[in-house]
């Protein structure tokens, strides 16, 4: 079986490439191989590889920059039109398309803090909007016979991707910041679930290996938490005593609004372990 991974040097893509190589014939492509937005080159490359499964781990992820008009246009190309094109190629090649979306397609209130796979998205920022449009592009092709797993996930963390541009994960940033600061200021909002990229890679492959029906899936580690409470747990595990100050998102100058509640509820497959357990493993390694 041939598996094509797009964005194979990103944070998630690197873990997918690691986890699948050896068991499958894996072709992992990233920016150094081609620009995915050069659709002509991309189409001929995918036809040449003739994959059985296409995994799209590439995305435009700069949430605040995306509020800018030109950046939003770029985000739409990568997060919406590109998955649409991949869906067309998947139909043509009779391949399965696996695509990742985000909890940012939702925004909750105190009355509704969690979302199942069937809930209707209502993004509050441009990044969420572009990812929602990507979902729609994929779902629109289902009546043409598209075989797909659309996976929503949130707050990824784990080993840094192999691309030189790969961003460090939230926990690594906090450990780095605390070296030079007396006190850390952390938002005590955005109740949602962390997801460890090695766990997500495993849960992804189990979808086709266990022959789960095609559709939308919510794959996250268990246990919703705010950024502030997550740093408290991180410091407890690392025995760091530096004070942490909880703030509201209004106190930070950020261009994009964030959902206050966006807990993804997995109602379809075996639940993943808790984020605390996953974090312990990450820190051990």
Ligand X SMILES: NC(=O)c1ccc[n+]([C@@H]2O[C@H](COP(=O)([O-])OP(=O)(O)OC[C@H]3O[C@@H](n4cnc5c(N)ncnc54)[C@H](OP(=O)(O)O)[C@@H]3O)[C@@H](O)[C@H]2O)c1
Positions touching ligand X (CB under 6 A) are 7, 9-13, 30-31, 35-37, 57-59, 61, 78, 100, 102, 153-156, 161, 163, 165-166
Which is nearer to ligand X, 12 or 54 (by Cβ)? 12
Kindly tell me the burial class for residue 177, based on how many C-beta atoms sit within 10 Å of its own C-beta (0-12, 13-18, 19 or more).
middle
Kindly tell me which of 94 and 139 has the beta carbon lying closer to ligand X.
139
Q: Which residue is nearest to ligand X (CB)?
A: 10
Nearer CB in complex with ligand X: 37/175: 37
The answer to whether the CB of 159 falls within 8 A of the CB of 172 is no
Distance CA 224, CA 252 (A): 22
- Which CB sits closer to ligand X, 102 or 125? 102
Residue 158, both tokens: 């784990």
**In the complex, minimum distance from the CB of residue 55 to ligand X, in angstroms, rounded to a whole number:** 10
Nearer to ligand X, 91 or 166 (CB): 166
Show the tokens assigned to 273: 């372990």
CB of residue 199 to ligand X, shortest distance in Å? 13
CB of 98 to ligand X, least distance (A): 10
d(C-alpha 175, C-alpha 248), whole Å: 21
Structure token pair of residue 35: 């620009």
CB of 21 to ligand X, least distance (A): 17
Round to whole Å and give the CA distance between 58 and 83. Answer: 10
> Shortest distance, CB of residue 182 to ligand X, whole angstroms?
28
Confirm if 262 and 192 have CB atoms less than 8 A apart.
yes
End-to-end CA distance of the chain: 31
């Amino acid at each position: 079986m041939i598996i094509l991974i797009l964005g194979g040097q990103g944070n998630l893509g690197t873990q997918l490439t690691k986890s699948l190589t050896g068991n499958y014939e894996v072709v992992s492509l990233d920016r150094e191989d081609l620009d995915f937005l050069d659709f002509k080159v991309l189409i001929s490359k995918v036809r040449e590889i003739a994959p059985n499964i296409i995994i799209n781990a590439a995305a435009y992820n700069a949430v605040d920059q995306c509020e800018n008009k030109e950046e939003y246009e770029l985000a739409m190309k990568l997060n919406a039109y590109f998955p649409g094109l991949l869906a067309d190629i998947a139909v043509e090649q009779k391949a399965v398309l696996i695509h990742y979306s985000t909890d940012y397609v939702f925004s909750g209130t105190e009355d509704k803090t969690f979302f199942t796979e069937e809930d209707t998205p209502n993004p509050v920022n441009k990044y969420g909007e572009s990812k929602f449009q990507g979902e729609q592009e994929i779902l629109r092709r289902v009546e043409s016979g598209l075989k797909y797993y659309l996976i929503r996930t949130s707050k990824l963390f784990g080993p840094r991707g192999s691309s030189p541009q790969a961003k460090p994960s939230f926990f690594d940033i906090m450990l780095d910041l605390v070296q030079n600061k007396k006190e850390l200021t952390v938002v005590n909002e955005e109740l949602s679930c962390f997801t460890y990229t090695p766990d997500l890679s495993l849960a992804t492959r189990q979808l086709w290996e266990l022959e789960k029906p095609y559709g939308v899936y919510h794959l996250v580690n268990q246990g919703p938490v705010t950024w502030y409470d997550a740093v408290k747990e991180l410091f407890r595990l690392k025995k760091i005593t530096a004070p942490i100050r909880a703030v509201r998102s209004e106190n930070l100058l950020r261009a994009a609004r964030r959902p206050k509640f966006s807990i993804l509820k997995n109602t379809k497959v075996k639940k993943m372990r808790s984020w605390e357990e996953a974090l312990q493993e990450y820190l051990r390694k």
